[in-house]
């Protein structure tokens, strides 16, 4: 379905083109009309004429009669466009008839790898994994909905020297003999115990060092033990994913260990291209344009002087695998902003090595920090613990308490489900609604509030609309029923609804789910204004049906929008 501002922009573009090529119509929502086009101002400057003259000429050349009730030039040369009721109602009816609510699949779908979550397996997931997991999951849903082939990849930290220690500890607690029943209640405690033995018992320390060598040498028994430990860690990680309701499964795991066999290949290939420079015993690449404060070139260290490989080598092998084996054309890295330099250098070197052809793009989808009430990084001790699982449990507990006093027709089991939806939704939405590069303060009261730009507000807005149909004891009008747009609040709601495809497009283009959040919040408030001004359940069947069509379309848009963010929208709360 052609989207409303898109159609308008196209028609204007054709008219602007009659004056000069490539002039941007600069179409914006307007206070005075529905839209305004400000493009005549810049174009006039470019062709050395008066803006009003240019605007008049655009209006003469434009074919807008079937879309607009009025087109006027005002001020210095703004073109004010008021859509016709006919056109708005037609567009809305088409949107209503469409399962996808007017959001078309993209004309040129990409194969996109989305790298997100990526915890280190030897530890419990902590607050620091919240943003990447929630943001990455929303992007996977949105980009998949747009028709891209999305490949989720969970680049877990499952390789390296700590595993020598963890495997020896596993042996000592009997996990080697009886892998079936091996379970760790608390990964952090297990790690701490291993660490303590390592620090206090030289014989254990020696075993650990030998074990690392065996692991890196691919010793079969060591790999078997390593797998037992990783599987147990994944069980903990999956529990958190289950609570959060994200799409990630064990099938999506492509951990650091996966790239291990390819690290020497990467080094060889870099060498064959003449890119490697020895610096202080280490093998490095110096990509153009990267210097330190003193202006000296910055190295990406591919192989350390002790012969070991670090993150840069793994990430190069990872780019190579994604564009090669997986055939990805777009590589998204949903990784904290603090890793910006590392990733930029990896991308630069990957391009030099031929791992990132011109036809592909690697994008760092960065994000800011989650802060505590003291304004410092919230690394630990949220509600007495740093574990993400505990944080999510607390969210549900708090949501349970906050709905305890509210009247409801639901039974105890249904209310518990609603509390889960609200609590988890509140945490996810607080994260997603913040522009991703900004830091935000983790604030229980604000995120759980039923007022303001919050998850609970939107979930309630949706359920409240659904309750209108229950009270009216009538089903929603047929999909594609013609809504009424004559009254100003109806018209405002209609125009807001029609912006949905544009909001999705803007979200996808910038990889910023916060844009979709802002849109949904605006939609919910516009609906409230409409609902306060226009009675829906009136006797006049035609008016009632037309207004119910607006209600239904709003509820469907909220539900689809929330689901694309990875949030539930219960029918009843």
Is there a contact between 259 and 317 (Cβ–Cβ < 8 Å)? yes
Is there a contact between 172 and 207 (Cβ–Cβ < 8 Å)? no
CA distance 415 to 535: 30
CA distance 305 to 113: 32
* Min CB(71)–ligand ARG separation in Å: 51
Q: Is 115 in the site for ligand ARG (CB under 6 A)?
A: yes
* Min CB(313)–ligand ARG separation in Å: 12
102 phi and psi angles, rounded to 5 deg: 85, 0
Nearer to ligand ARG, 226 or 527 (CB): 226
* Min CB(258)–ligand ARG separation in Å: 11
Nearer to ligand ARG, 321 or 552 (CB): 321
Stretch that binds ligand ARG, among 113-121, 207-215, 268-276, 419-427 (CB under 6 A): 113-121
* Min CB(136)–ligand ARG separation in Å: 10
What residues contact 32, with CB distance under 8 A and at least 6 apart?
74, 80
Which of 55-77 are b and which e, b meaning 16 or more Cβ less than 10 Å from the residue's Cβ? bebbbeebebeebbbebebeeeb
- DSSP one-letter string for 131-193: HHHHHHHHHHHHHHHTT-EEEEEB--B--STHHHHHHHHHHHTTTTT-GGG---S-HHHHHHH
CA distance 447 to 395: 10
CA distance 522 to 49: 39
* Min CB(277)–ligand ARG separation in Å: 23
**Cα dihedral value 561, 564, 566, 567, nearest 10:** 20
Q: Is 154 in the site for ligand ARG (CB under 6 A)?
A: no
Encoded one letter per residue, x for contact with ligand ARG by CB under 6 A and - for no contact, window 297-316 reads: ------------------x-
* Min CB(101)–ligand ARG separation in Å: 33
Q: Is 260 in the site for ligand ARG (CB under 6 A)?
A: no
CA distance 172 to 166: 10
End-to-end CA, the chain:
33
Residue from the set 240, 270, 332, 335 that interacts with ligand ARG by CB under 6 A = 335
Stretch that binds ligand ARG, among 114-122, 286-294, 381-389, 464-472 (CB under 6 A): 114-122
Is there a contact between 463 and 570 (Cβ–Cβ < 8 Å)? yes
Chain position carrying tokens 């497009």: 505
Q: Is 120 in the site for ligand ARG (CB under 6 A)?
A: yes
* Min CB(223)–ligand ARG separation in Å: 21
Q: Is 80 in the site for ligand ARG (CB under 6 A)?
A: no
Stretch that binds ligand ARG, among 115-123, 160-168, 414-422, 457-465 (CB under 6 A): 115-123
* Min CB(255)–ligand ARG separation in Å: 9
CA distance 40 to 54: 6
Number of amino acids touching ligand ARG (CB under 6 A): 9
Question: Minimal CA–CA distance to 504: which of 550, 560, 455, 570?
Answer: 560
* Min CB(315)–ligand ARG separation in Å: 5
Residue 472 exposed, middle or buried by CB count within 10 Å (0-12, 13-18, 19+)? middle
Q: Is 155 in the site for ligand ARG (CB under 6 A)?
A: yes
Nearer to ligand ARG, 133 or 459 (CB): 133
Token output for 364: 């760092």
CA distances, 254 to each of 134, 257, 289, 306, 441 (Å): 19, 8, 31, 26, 32
Nearer to ligand ARG, 35 or 259 (CB): 259
Q: Is 233 in the site for ligand ARG (CB under 6 A)?
A: no
Nearer to ligand ARG, 119 or 570 (CB): 119
Nearer to ligand ARG, 190 or 333 (CB): 333
* Min CB(256)–ligand ARG separation in Å: 7
CA distances, 475 to each of 26, 287, 531, 542, 551 (Å): 41, 63, 18, 15, 12
Q: Parallel, antiparallel, or unpaired: how do β-strands 78-83 and 68-74 relate?
A: antiparallel
Residue from the set 77, 157, 366, 425 that interacts with ligand ARG by CB under 6 A = 157
Question: Minimal CA–CA distance to 143: which of 131, 135, 132, 133?
Answer: 135
Stretch that binds ligand ARG, among 37-45, 71-79, 102-110, 112-120 (CB under 6 A): 112-120
Nearer to ligand ARG, 137 or 315 (CB): 315
* Min CB(157)–ligand ARG separation in Å: 4
Nearer to ligand ARG, 333 or 440 (CB): 333
Nearer to ligand ARG, 246 or 481 (CB): 246
* Min CB(323)–ligand ARG separation in Å: 14
Encoded one letter per residue, x for contact with ligand ARG by CB under 6 A and - for no contact, window 133-152 reads: --------------------
Binding to ligand ARG in span 37-56, by CB under 6 A:
none
Residue from the set 4, 118, 283, 330 that interacts with ligand ARG by CB under 6 A = 118
* Min CB(334)–ligand ARG separation in Å: 8
> Applying CB under 6 A, which residues contact ligand ARG?
115, 118, 120, 155, 157, 315, 318, 333, 335
């Amino acid at each position: 379905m052609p989207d409303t501002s898109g159609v308008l922009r196209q028609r204007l573009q054709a008219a602007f083109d009659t004056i000069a090529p490539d002039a941007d119509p600069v179409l914006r929502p307007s206070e005075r009309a529905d839209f305004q086009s400000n493009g005549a101002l810049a174009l006039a400057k470019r062709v050395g004429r008066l803006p009003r003259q240019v605007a008049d000429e655009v209006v003469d050349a434009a074919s807008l009669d079937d879309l607009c009730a009025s087109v006027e030039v005002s001020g210095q040369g703004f073109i004010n466009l008021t859509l016709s009721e006919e056109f708005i109602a037609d567009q809305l009816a088409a949107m209503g008839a469409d399962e996808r609510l007017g959001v078309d699949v993209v004309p040129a779908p990409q194969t996109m790898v989305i790298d997100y979550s990526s915890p280190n397996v030897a530890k419990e997931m902590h607050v620091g994994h919240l943003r990447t997991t929630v943001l990455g999951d929303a992007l996977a849903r949105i980009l998949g909905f747009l028709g891209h082939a999305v490949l989720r990849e969970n680049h877990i930290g499952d390789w390296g020297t700590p595993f020598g220690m963890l495997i020896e500890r596993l042996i000592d607690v009997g996990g080697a003999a009886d892998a079936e029943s091996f379970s760790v209640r608390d990964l952090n405690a297990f790690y701490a115990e291993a660490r303590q033995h390592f620090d206090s018992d030289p014989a254990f320390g020696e075993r650990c060092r030998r074990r690392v060598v065996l692991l890196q040498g691919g010793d079969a028994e060591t790999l078997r033990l390593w797998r037992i430990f990783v599987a147990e860690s994944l069980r903990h990680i999956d529990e958190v994913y289950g609570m959060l309701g994200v799409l990630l499964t064990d099938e999506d795991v492509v951990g650091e260990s996966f790239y291990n066999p390819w690290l020497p290949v990467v080094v060889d290939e870099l060498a064959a291209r003449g890119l490697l420079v020895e610096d202080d015993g280490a093998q490095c690449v110096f990509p153009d344009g990267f210097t330190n404060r003193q202006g000296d070139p910055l190295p990406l260290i591919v192989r350390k002087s002790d012969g070991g490989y670090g993150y840069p080598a793994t990430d190069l092998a990872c780019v190579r695998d994604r564009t090669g084996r997986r055939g990805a054309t777009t590589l998204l890295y949903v990784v904290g902003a603090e890793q910006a330099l590392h990733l930029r250098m990896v991308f630069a070197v990957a391009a030099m090595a031929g791992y990132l052809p011109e036809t592909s793009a690697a994008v760092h989808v960065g994000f800011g920090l989650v802060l505590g009430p003291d304004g410092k990084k919230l690394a630990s001790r949220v509600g007495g613990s740093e574990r993400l699982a505990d944080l999510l449990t607390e969210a549900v507990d708090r949501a349970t308490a906050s709905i305890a006093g509210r009247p409801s027709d639901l039974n105890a089991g249904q209310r518990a489900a609603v509390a889960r939806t609200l609590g988890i939704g509140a945490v996810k939405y607080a994260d997603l609604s913040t522009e991703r590069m900004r830091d935000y303060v983790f604030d229980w009261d604000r995120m759980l509030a039923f007022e303001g730009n919050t998850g609970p507000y939107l979930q309630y807005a949706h359920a409240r609309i659904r309750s209108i149909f229950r009270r009216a004891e009538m089903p929603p009008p047929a999909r594609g029923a013609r809504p009424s747009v004559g009254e100003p609040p109806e018209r405002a709601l209609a125009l807001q609804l029609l912006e949905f495809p544009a909001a999705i497009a803007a979200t996808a283009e910038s990889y910023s789910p916060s844009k979709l959040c802002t849109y949904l919040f605006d939609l919910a408030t516009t609906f409230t204004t409409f609902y306060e001004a226009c009675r829906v359940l009136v006797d006049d069947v035609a008016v009632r049906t037309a207004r119910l069509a607006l209600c239904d379309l709003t509820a469907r848009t909220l539900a689809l929008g929330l689901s694309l963010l990875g949030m539930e929208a219960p029918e009843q709360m």
